[in-house]
């Protein structure tokens, strides 16, 4: 009996070894900073992971009003519908509403200001800030988002 168990265990060990080693799929929040650096462009990394801000009127989407959905450039999470995008003349893509559950909000006291930081709920990537000077006829809110943190899928 003992030798049978031994044979079974050895067989299992060997069959396990035959499997090619595969990196387990990581959830976005489990990625290390090194992995993010490899995954993102330098600009994306600076904004999403280091909370940088792209210069106004330089991003890809501030003046784009095509139909589609804006996804997180870090993890693909659906964030904003193009129907909620409006022209705020501020040089960054602006939305009056986010897709429910896609965003987390955090108080940001940097640069001597009191602002609300907007982060992707799925990967904690920094997207921009939320202000209350949006269009009065809709929500009154303005999500001021860096172009580099999002990707428009038409
Ligand atoms: Zn994300």
143 in a structural domain: yes
Handedness of CA 95, 71, 42, 120 (dihedral sign): positive
90 in a structural domain: yes
Rounded average pLDDT over 138-142: 97
Each residue of 15-32: pLDDT tens digit? 555 566 666 788 999 999
| Nearest C-alpha neighbor of 39 from the set 48, 127, 126, 59 | 48
Cα 99 from Cα 69, distance rounded (Å): 10
Taking the centre of ligand 1 as the mean of its atom positions, its distance from the CA of residue 86, in whole angstroms, is: 22
Rounded average pLDDT over 29-46: 97
132 in a structural domain: yes
82 in a structural domain: yes
Residue 144 appears among annotated catalytic residues: yes
Domain count within the chain: 1
Which tokens in the block code for residue 149? 């943190």
Taking the centre of ligand 1 as the mean of its atom positions, its distance from the CA of residue 6, in whole angstroms, is: 48
34 in a structural domain: no
Taking the centre of ligand 1 as the mean of its atom positions, its distance from the CA of residue 126, in whole angstroms, is: 8
Each residue of 49-82: pLDDT tens digit? 999 999 999 999 999 999 999 999 999 999 999 9
Q: Residue 118: which domain range?
A: 56-153
Q: Is 148 exposed, middle or buried (0-12, 13-18, 19+ CB in 10 A)?
A: buried
CATH number for the domain spanning 89: value is: 2.170.150.20
Cα 98 from Cα 75, distance rounded (Å): 16
- The pTM assigned to this predicted structure is 0.83
């Amino acid at each position: 009996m003992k030798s049978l168990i031994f044979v079974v265990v050895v067989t299992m060990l060997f069959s396990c070894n035959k499997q090619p080693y595969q990196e387990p799929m990581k959830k976005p929040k489990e990625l290390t900073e090194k992995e993010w650096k490899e995954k993102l462009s330098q600009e994306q990394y600076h904004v999403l992971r280091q909370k940088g801000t792209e210069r106004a009127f330089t991003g890809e989407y501030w003046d784009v009003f095509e139909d589609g959905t804006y996804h997180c450039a870090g993890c693909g999470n659906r964030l904003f519908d193009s129907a909620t995008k409006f022209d705020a003349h501020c040089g960054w893509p602006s939305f009056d509403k986010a897709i429910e559950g896609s965003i987390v909000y955090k108080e940001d006291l940097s640069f001597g200001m009191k602002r609300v930081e907007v982060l992707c709920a799925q990967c904690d990537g920094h997207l921009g800030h939320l202000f209350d000077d949006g269009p009065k006829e809709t929500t009154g809110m303005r999500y001021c988002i860096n172009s580099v943190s999002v990707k428009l899928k038409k």
